[in-house]
Structure 1
């Protein structure tokens, strides 16, 4: 018979998983209520009554607010201290990232997107994703259309997605600019395939004024993207054609697609760059189960399931990336892992 303590420890671990969803939904609630902004604006920790008086609701149940803040303190997002016998709540370092989220919507957009009732619906059918030939994603089975068609039909959700991508890749774009100067200085033109709003490409264009920069994407995305004078905008279908350039940038694109589609995209890229000096720059995840950063591994394994359910894509190991490059006719590649972020830079050489 198993040791009773071992059984209790195992049950405790399972219970921790049972309510794993609570962290995300409590975080969403804190963002919706603007709790971090209220405390930041005040400039000092607040009592429950002071905090409740500024929450944008007609009335606030103080007991419920107390229980919500107790959970947020346990998450180490907020702090609690007692002064003159009364609890006061302040900002822990992570909560500072939630301040003024309406100005930098990216982090909030990620939370709102993941917890959106439509986007979370396929997760309730995870077991169903194991059946069938994979021709139809779980998202399509549940919502009746592909995620790309859904985005085109729901522009507010498309904007939410684009806002989250801007935040998700902003830090990584700064890494590209700082650590890969030699790559950008050695080319004259760059096309960002699936470049979204063009924010990141605008930063690259300013950092390297000699570059002719272009974002290339679906018509409804290009139509809604802001105008950056340094960046050209072209709409089209990357499976049919990619504008010619010395280099093609695929930033967080290939993990949305299955192997067959990725090979087609890479072949289009190969057709679009010159034989001399042409390069495809891929900013995407490379899964390493032996990574020294287990929190990143968990994130990648989670996004891998996300891709499986919603797009038919996947997060890939280096061996899986190599298989794609071989199938697309790329003779060489170089992977540079970027510390403390989930993405790596892959320099793929088509010739």
Structure 2
């Protein structure tokens, strides 16, 4: 075999990289169109209508049922079929084209345990999009300027949410999306985290979705859903769950275990340490363990703080990560976790996604004697911390 045969020449590689870069740059420039199209079909109820027809519906039917423009809907659906959100069965006429549900399009349904419609709608609101325009200003300020959300709206996310009931409702519904997915993963794959636990406080539990699902699956557990009073004012009833209003920076109800699901990533390191200390106080021994050594061991094992949060790679390497994503994009959550870190930068004052070593530092500073990490089938890992 002659020199250079059987492999790409350097010039060919350069040309391929340039061609790929051109396409990728255009994709980045127009990536907002994906969110916009998904928002459109969720608002129209396209996936819901297709589902009501048994999982398949013609363009003509959808246009009539949803009272919308047939040519415009065709263009939206053509775009989303290209992106594999829906499938299409071609016909002799455009109107007779049949659109079919996929696993992805069912995530756009307004209801169901796997729905992510509320999360997409929330992130697509003008309120949540505006801070992104201030990201570069925040980076240039080196910490002296207000965070992007505060710069855009004059107050931080939590103050804004407390004063705007509609935004608060959208946030609660969006967080319920992630709560349902996380709860299903924990119940299905990590039930041992509840071993010996009699009472659980879900700190910052929103409308109670996570704890409601846990207690339904494990009715022996007493659930306390703890959040700010204005959050709980519209929270639904869940069997076996008590809603308790309060402020996690001041005190947390007593229980065997406290859960923090995607709460700490909203806060700075110092604030996280403060919250974790309050959680440790809430699980302090009550002195009623008796003299049974076996019972004491079980009691100590159940006394813990359980953190459900993304854990970034400590040894993140861009080139290696790129290769992994190319090989196994659907199996890897790493890119989503890094995107969430960008969300924290835009929407919170000091919040971020953390690496394993960063979590270990916070837990040690908060006074925990031991802790463990366990990955799940979804974005968060299970971090168990023992006093």
**Given the alignment of the two structures, is residue 170 of structure 1 paired with residue 180 of structure 2, yes or no?**
yes
Give 1:22's aligned residue. Answer: 33
Q: What do the CA deviations read for 1:242-290 (whole angstroms, capped 9, x no partner)?
A: 1111111111111111111100001111111125442001111111345
Written as runs of structure 1 = structure 2, the 5 A alignment for 1:279-298 is 279-288=304-313, 289=316, 294=329, 295-298=332-335
Tell me the distance in 2 between the aligned counterparts of 1:264 and 1:56. Answer: 53
Aligned 8 A contact 1:45 1:88 in 2: no
Q: Single out whichever of 181-190 and 71-80 deviates more from structure 2.
A: 181-190
Tell me the distance in 2 between the aligned counterparts of 1:209 and 1:66. Answer: 48
- Give the TM-score normalised by structure 2: 0.82
Of residues 358, 362, 376, the one that matches 1:320 is: 358
Give 2:383's aligned residue. Answer: 346
Give 2:129's aligned residue. Answer: 120
Give 1:134 deviation, angstroms: 6.2
Of residues 192, 202, 208, the one that matches 2:218 is: 208
Structure 1, unaligned stretches of length 5 or more? none
Tell me the distance in 2 between the aligned counterparts of 1:175 and 1:9. Answer: 37
Closer, same or farther: CA 175–96 of 1 in aligned 2, 3 Å: closer
**Given the alignment of the two structures, is residue 63 of structure 1 paired with residue 71 of structure 2, yes or no?**
yes
Aligned 8 A contact 1:190 1:249 in 2: yes
Give 1:272's aligned residue. Answer: 282
Written as runs of structure 1 = structure 2, the 5 A alignment for 1:1-351 is 3-43=14-54, 45-57=56-68, 60=69, 62-84=70-92, 86=94, 88-93=97-102, 94-99=104-109, 101=110, 107-130=116-139, 131-133=141-143, 136-275=146-285, 276-277=300-301, 278-288=303-313, 289=316, 294=329, 295-311=332-348, 312-339=350-377, 341-350=378-387
Aligned 8 A contact 2:266 2:351 in 1: yes
Give 1:202 deviation, angstroms: 2.1
Give 1:200 deviation, angstroms: 2.1
The two structures, once aligned, show a CA RMSD in angstroms of 2.4
Question: Residue 79 of structure 2 aligns to a residue in which SS?
Answer: helix
Give 2:7's aligned residue. Answer: none
Q: What do the CA deviations read for 1:141-186 (whole angstroms, capped 9, x no partner)?
A: 1100111111111111111111121121213213323444344231
Q: What do the CA deviations read for 1:168-210 (whole angstroms, capped 9, x no partner)?
A: 1213213323444344231222111111111221222233333
Question: Residue 123 of structure 2 aligns to a residue in which SS?
Answer: helix
Q: Single out whichever of 258-267 and 73-82 deviates more from structure 2.
A: 73-82
Give 1:44 deviation, angstroms: 6.5
- Give the TM-score normalised by structure 1: 0.90
Structure 2, unaligned stretches of length 5 or more? 1-9, 286-299
Give 1:235 deviation, angstroms: 1.0
Tell me the distance in 1 between the aligned counterparts of 2:55 and 2:205. Answer: 41
The alignment covers a number of residue pairs equal to 345
Aligned 8 A contact 2:138 2:146 in 1: no
Give 1:323 deviation, angstroms: 1.0
Closer, same or farther: CA 96–102 of 1 in aligned 2, 3 Å: closer
Q: What do the CA deviations read for 1:80-105 (whole angstroms, capped 9, x no partner)?
A: 22234555131241213323x15779
Give 1:106 deviation, angstroms: 5.2
Closer, same or farther: CA 134–255 of 1 in aligned 2, 3 Å: farther
